[in-house]
């Protein structure tokens, strides 16, 4: 039996996705510590122009205000924290500095 992989979608082909290891910010469900990301599981990564597999190597729950400017800028291919928050607000319109997010870390699977 072939196991169906969980899918992680990206709206853009971010620079970070060219690296062997990368991270992404995802909105945490309010008041719920459960999420679909499991360390060790393999996910199908879909972008507008790429499909590949990656293993989840870590998940951290954090408020946006506690995430460094550098992490936010790298996550969104932006130049400033404000620009990064503007980009994140496209996917999550009500996001602000107090929003709880998941920082999900992946490593590409070489087949």
Tens digit of each residue's pLDDT (9 = 90 or more) over 75-93: 999 999 999 999 999 988 9
Give the pTM: 0.89
Level-2 CATH architecture, domain 6-108: Roll (3.10)
Q: Minimal CA–CA distance to 70: which of 79, 61, 58, 60?
A: 79
Cβ atoms of 100 and 67 within 8 Å: the answer is: no
Tens digit of each residue's pLDDT (9 = 90 or more) over 36-69: 899 999 999 999 999 999 999 999 999 999 999 9
Q: Minimal CA–CA distance to 40: which of 53, 58, 25, 28?
A: 58
């Amino acid at each position: 039996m072939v196991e169906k992989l969980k899918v992680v979608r990206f709206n853009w082909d971010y620079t970070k996705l060219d690296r062997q290891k990368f991270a992404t910010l995802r909105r945490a469900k309010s008041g719920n510590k459960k999420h679909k990301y499991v360390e060790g599981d393999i996910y199908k990564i879909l972008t507008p122009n790429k499909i590949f597999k990656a293993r989840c190597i870590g998940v951290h729950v954090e408020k946006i205000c506690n995430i460094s400017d550098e992490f936010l800028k790298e996550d969104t291919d932006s130049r400033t924290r404000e620009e990064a928050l503007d980009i994140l607000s496209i996917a999550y319109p009500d996001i602000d500095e107090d929003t709880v997010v998941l920082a999900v870390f992946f490593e590409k699977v070489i087949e």
